[in-house]
């Protein structure tokens, strides 16, 4: 949990838009200095302007978190500008609507490498740093309600977010057992008004749409249209992120902001029905 942001050095990925931008600006409002990262480097300057206007230190970095060497670049730049990291927010993520038999493997890799592998790459580097620092540190992994429940569409998005939740739970348990100075929380939102519907525009070069019938199919073309409509009619960003900041200050692993999913989550199983902390690992010994 984070109760004090003053003077803290925070790194936020995917900060050029939506949830990442709102979290970065919200942390600056509460007193943190920021390193903001995005694959679209040009999206960062307007966000940096907002942070500077709050009188906080801010650095920007173009990087693709789906690549291990780019996560190393983020770590190296963090050390160059701050020499430490108190708060790490792994937020960058993408979505794709392809079905199980239609989605090209390259899109499976793109979504998994962005939504799951990036969390590995970043935590592998930042956990040892934070442990060496020794004082209270925090990692916030932005997952999704799609990591807690499943629906009949977007199998690659749902399964990637389930993997991201499971990874964070494993790390939470490992760190708890060690009595680590690092706390981990995960944000699992339902729909929020952001630009996630336009994720296709943020594809790294190596996953660019190629000459495959899928990329001219109605399924491919209609997905962003459908998702844009849903997102445009969903929870407002600012109010939702205000709730996140309230919960970041509490001793709870799961940060949930969309009550309408409560019934579905509870139907998943009794062990996590309160959705505060992961299942006690001693139950399995
Ligand atoms: N908006 C929602 O309804 C919703 C719901 C549940 C979970 N989420 C999750 O929230 C996170 C943020 O999404 P958002 O809704 O703010 O979307 P968004 O598209 O507005 O912002 C995502 C940002 O991540 C950046 N990004 C994408 N791929 C990247 C990469 N490889 N490396 C670095 N940056 C990259 C994009 O350029 C963009 O600025 C994602 O992980 C998403 O899955 C969003």
Residue 285 lies in a domain: no
Tell me if 13 CB under 6 Å of ligand 1. yes
Q: Structurally, how many domains does the chain consist of? A: 1
Please name the residues in contact with 122: beta carbons below 8 A apart, sequence gap of 6 or more.
13, 65, 71, 74, 75, 88, 90
Q: Can you tell me whether residue 66 is helix, strand or coil?
A: coil
Pick the catalytic residue: 121, 157, 202, 223?
157
Nearest to 56 by CA among 3, 9, 88: 9
Residue 4 lies in a domain: no
Residue 119 lies in a domain: yes
Tell me if 147 CB under 6 Å of ligand 1. no
User: Which helix (H) or strand (E) segment is 60 a member of?
Assistant: strand 58-62
Residue 35: the pLDDT is: 99
**Nearest-5° Cα angle at 121, 84 to 180:** 55
Tell me if 18 CB under 6 Å of ligand 1. yes
Residue 14 lies in a domain: yes
Residue 278: the pLDDT is: 79
CATH code of residue 63: 3.40.50.720
Ligand 1 atom 42: residue of nearest CA: 93
Residue 271 lies in a domain: yes
CA of 40 to the centre of ligand 1 (A): 12
Residue 168 lies in a domain: yes
Residue 19 domain boundaries: 9-280
Give Rg (Cα) of the chain. 18
Q: Which residues of 79-113 are buried (b: 16+ CB within 10 A; e: fewer)?
A: eeebeebbbbbbbbbbbbbbeeeebbebbbebbbb
User: Which helix (H) or strand (E) segment is 241 a member of?
Assistant: helix 237-248
Residue 139: the pLDDT is: 98
Residue 3 lies in a domain: no
Residue 274: the pLDDT is: 66
Residue 229 lies in a domain: yes
Tell me if 43 CB under 6 Å of ligand 1. yes
pLDDT string in tens for the chain (285-residue length): 888 999 999 999 999 999 999 999 999 999 999 999 999 999 999 999 999 999 999 999 999 999 999 999 999 999 999 999 999 999 999 999 999 999 999 999 999 999 999 999 999 999 999 999 999 999 999 999 999 998 888 999 999 999 999 999 999 999 999 999 999 999 999 999 999 999 998 899 999 878 889 999 999 999 999 999 999 999 999 999 999 999 999 999 999 999 998 888 888 764 555 677 777 766 565
Q: Catalytic: 157?
A: yes
Please name the residues in contact with 98: beta carbons below 8 A apart, sequence gap of 6 or more.
104, 107, 154, 156, 214, 219, 220, 223
Residue 123: the pLDDT is: 98
Residue 209: the pLDDT is: 76
């Amino acid at each position: 949990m984070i109760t004090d942001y003053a003077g803290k050095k925070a790194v936020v990925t995917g900060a050029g838009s939506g949830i990442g931008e709102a979290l970065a600006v919200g942390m600056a409002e509460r007193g943190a200095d920021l390193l903001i990262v995005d694959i679209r480097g040009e999206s960062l300057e307007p966000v940096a302007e907002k942070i500077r206007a709050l009188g906080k230190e801010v650095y920007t970095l173009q990087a693709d978190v789906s690549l291990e060497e780019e996560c190393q670049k983020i770590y190296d730049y963090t050390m160059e500008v701050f020499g430490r990291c108190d708060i790490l927010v792994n937020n960058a993520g993408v979505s794709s609507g392809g079905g199980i038999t239609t989605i090209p493997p390259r899109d499976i890799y793109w979504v998994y490498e962005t939504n799951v592998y990036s969390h590995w790459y970043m935590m592998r580097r930042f956990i040892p740093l934070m442990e060496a620092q020794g004082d209270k540190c925090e990692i916030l992994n932005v997952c999704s309600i799609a990591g807690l429940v499943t629906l009949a569409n977007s199998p690659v998005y749902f399964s990637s977010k389930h993997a991201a939740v499971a990874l964070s739970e494993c790390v939470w348990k490992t760190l708890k057992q060690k009595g680590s100075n690092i706390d981990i929380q995960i944000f699992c939102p339902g729909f929020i008004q952001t630009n996630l519907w336009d994720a296709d525009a943020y594809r790294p070069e190596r996953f660019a749409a190629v000459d495959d019938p899928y990329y001219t199919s109605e399924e491919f073309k209609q997905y962003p249209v459908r998702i844009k409509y849903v997102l445009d009619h969903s929870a407002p960003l600012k109010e939702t992120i205000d709730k996140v900041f309230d919960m970041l200050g509490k001793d709870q692993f799961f940060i949930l902001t969309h009550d309408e999913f409560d019934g579905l989550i509870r139907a998943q199983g009794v062990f996590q029905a309160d959705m505060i902390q992961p299942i006690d690992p001693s139950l399995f010994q």
